[in-house]
């Protein structure tokens, strides 16, 4: 028991000594900071330098016979400059257009011309041949082997005709007409034959002008009431 009490007293004494040492070190650091702050904030003496000022000029009194005239400062003549033309304003300057944008604009213009020409030709064919015969001729032309590059458009149109919805057939024909017109307006080396592409565009334009005739013909074929054609329609570009 006595040994335990002695150990506790020694431990408390060691803790007390350590605490006193920490307090002493803290006090020393605080005093050092105060001395350093006092040295930095101390008054700074600035030596004054005497500045010599020039003596004032003597005042001369003019007599009555010699009046004093004020001398005007002479100004150097401005050099003669040629008239400068007005710079163009921001609105008058032509906007910068990249080459790619110009090429795209030219391509869209050519495509619109092809679409307009195809629709005009489609109206002429419908007026001359009649709706039934013109649409049948257009469908026969699209089934020709020469129109194989545009097979995807023909498959979509056939699917729309099979459903029997006239608005869907017209929309599909107009979409195909725009796609084939893009091929006809291309000028690259890999572009298809422009005349052949124009003929296919005319065929789709004919169906787009009279989509109900294509639906009516498909319904007649399913019901078995369609009249057998006397001759097989051939492609109209031949």
pLDDT tens, per residue, the chain with 238 residues: 566 766 688 888 888 889 999 999 999 999 988 888 888 765 555 556 555 666 665 655 544 454 545 555 555 555 555 554 555 555 556 565 688 888 889 989 999 999 999 999 999 999 998 989 999 999 988 988 888 889 999 999 999 998 888 899 999 999 999 999 998 898 888 888 888 999 999 999 999 999 988 888 777 666 555 554 445 445 555 4
Distance CA 123, CA 210 (A): 10
The answer as to whether 24 is a domain residue is no
**Gap between the terminal Cα atoms of the chain:** 127
The answer as to whether 163 is a domain residue is yes
- Determine the number of helices (DSSP H) and then strands (DSSP E) in the chain: 7, 0
For the whole model, what pTM was predicted?
A: 0.53
The answer as to whether 145 is a domain residue is yes
Q: Range of 186's domain?
A: 102-223
- Structural domains in the chain (count): 1
The answer as to whether 125 is a domain residue is yes
The answer as to whether 127 is a domain residue is yes
The secondary structure element, H or E, covering residue 222 is helix 211-223
The answer as to whether 72 is a domain residue is no
Side-chain-facing half-sphere of 238: CA atoms under 13 Å: 12
The answer as to whether 174 is a domain residue is yes
* Cβ within 8 Å of residue 146, ≥6 positions away: 196, 235, 237
Q: According to DSSP H, which parts of 130-165 are helical?
A: 131-142, 151-163
Distance CA 206, CA 136 (A): 10
The answer as to whether 53 is a domain residue is no
């Amino acid at each position: 028991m006595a040994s335990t009490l002695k150990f506790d007293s020694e431990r408390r004494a060691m803790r007390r000594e350590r605490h006193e040492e920490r307090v002493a070190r803290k006090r020393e650091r605080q005093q050092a900071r105060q001395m350093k702050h006092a040295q930095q904030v101390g008054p700074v003496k600035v030596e004054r330098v005497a500045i010599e000022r020039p003596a004032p000029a003597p005042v001369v009194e003019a007599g009555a016979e010699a009046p004093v005239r004020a001398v005007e400062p002479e100004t150097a003549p401005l050099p003669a400059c040629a008239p400068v033309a007005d710079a163009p304003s921001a609105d008058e300057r032509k906007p910068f257009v990249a080459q790619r944008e110009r090429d795209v604009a030219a391509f869209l213009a050519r495509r619109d011309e092809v679409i307009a020409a195809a629709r005009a030709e489609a109206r002429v064919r419908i007026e001359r041949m009649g709706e039934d015969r013109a649409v049948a001729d257009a469908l026969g032309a699209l089934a020709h082997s020469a129109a194989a590059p545009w097979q995807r458009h023909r498959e979509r149109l056939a699917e729309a005709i099979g459903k029997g919805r006239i608005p869907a057939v017209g929309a599909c024909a107009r979409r195909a007409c725009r796609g084939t017109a893009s091929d006809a307006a291309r000028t690259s080396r890999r572009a298809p034959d422009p005349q052949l592409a124009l003929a296919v565009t005319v065929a789709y334009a004919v169906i787009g002008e009279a989509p109900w005739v294509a639906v009516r013909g498909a319904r007649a074929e399913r019901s078995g009431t369609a009249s057998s054609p006397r001759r097989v329609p051939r492609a109209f570009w031949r």
